[in-house]
Amino acid sequence: MEADLERILFDEATIHHRLDELAAQIANDYRGRELTVIAILNGSVILMADLLRRLPMPLKLDCLSVASYHGGTKTTGELVFRQLWMPDLAGRHVLVLDDILDSGVTLATIREKLESITPGPQSVRICVLLEKKKTRVRHVDADYVGFQIGDEFVVGYGLDYMERYRNLPCIGVLRKDLIAATA
Ligand code: IMP
Ligand code: MG
């Protein structure tokens, strides 16, 4: 799989070191409060497993399954929620966990949806492993960011191209010749 990368951006050790820092920051910010983590499937599964085990505090975990890409490398601007019920978040401190902030459509829509629930959460914050530096379709701020990257298509550590490469331990830029002309 690594041979399919144009270059590696973050190796496993670098990612884990950054997760130590993020976890310390989150644990400090939520001291004395109980957290509900909402992990956005499928992209955040690896991040979820590695980050949550670094948080030495009581927390609840729920997952939301959404789709925006339909297989390519560009967002369709439309988000599909796959579950019938939203978790009970009344009065909770919610931390939304996602792999990457790109166009902003996914996280802006999810934030809106969580904040529209009544009775709703007490607070909603967002944590992403990667944030692309670019002009977004929807404005959304992440409260915790692992790394900022340029506007390139990356895979690995949960991030996929057509559902592949999620199990790569590092994060890298996918070779352009492997991205279908139609993507
Ligand atoms: P957004 O709605 O455009 O901000 O992006 C949301 C989703 O698109 C992310 O949760 C990822 O699943 C996917 N995505 C965006 N950029 C990349 C990338 O560079 N590689 C792989 N997936 C990406
Ligand atoms: Mg994806």
The percentage of the chain sitting over the pLDDT mark of 70, rounded to a whole number, equals 93
Amino acid identity, position 154 = V
Distance, in Å, from the CA atom of 182 to the CA atom of 21, rounded to the nearest integer, reads 39
Q: What is the pLDDT of residues 8-53, one digit of tens each?
A: 999 999 999 999 999 999 999 999 999 999 999 999 999 999 999 9
**Per-residue model confidence (pLDDT) at position 167:** 98
- Between 67 and 24, name the one with better pLDDT: 24
Structure tokens at 165: 């490469």
Q: What is the pLDDT of residues 152-180, one digit of tens each?
A: 999 999 999 999 999 999 999 999 999 87
Give the DSSP per-residue string, 5-38.
Answer: EEEEEE-HHHHHHHHHHHHHHHHHHTTTS-EEEE
Phi/psi of residue 114, each to 5°?
-65, -40
Average pLDDT over residues 114-118: 91
User: Contact, 72 vs 182, CB < 8 A?
Assistant: yes
**Is the pLDDT assigned to residue 183 strictly greater than 70?**
no
Distance 62 CA to ligand 1 centre (A): 20
Average pLDDT, the chain: 93
Distance 12 CA to ligand 1 centre (A): 20
Beta-strand pair 123-132/93-101: parallel
Per annotation, catalytic residue among 98, 102, 151, 160: 102
Radius of gyration of the chain (CA): 16
Distance, in Å, from the CA atom of 27 to the CA atom of 65, rounded to the nearest integer, reads 25
Amino acid identity, position 165 = Y
Going by C-alpha positions, the residue among 96, 87, 89 that lies closest to residue 37 is 96
Largest CA distance in the chain: 51
Testing ligand 1's pocket by substitution, the residue of 9, 47, 66, 69 carrying the most ligand atoms inside 8 A of its CB is 69
Distance, in Å, from the CA atom of 135 to the CA atom of 95, rounded to the nearest integer, reads 24
**Position 85 confidence tier, pLDDT thresholds 50, 70, 90:** confident
Distance 137 CA to ligand 2 centre (A): 17
User: Tell me, what DSSP letter sits at residue 44?
Assistant: T
**Per-residue model confidence (pLDDT) at position 181:** 59
Amino acid identity, position 14 = T
**Per-residue model confidence (pLDDT) at position 176:** 93
CB distance 43 to ligand 1 below 6 Å: yes
**Position 86 confidence tier, pLDDT thresholds 50, 70, 90:** confident
Average pLDDT over residues 51-64: 96
Average pLDDT over residues 46-63: 97
Beta-strand pair 35-41/93-101: parallel
**Per-residue model confidence (pLDDT) at position 81:** 86
Average pLDDT over residues 105-127: 94
Active site residue 11: no
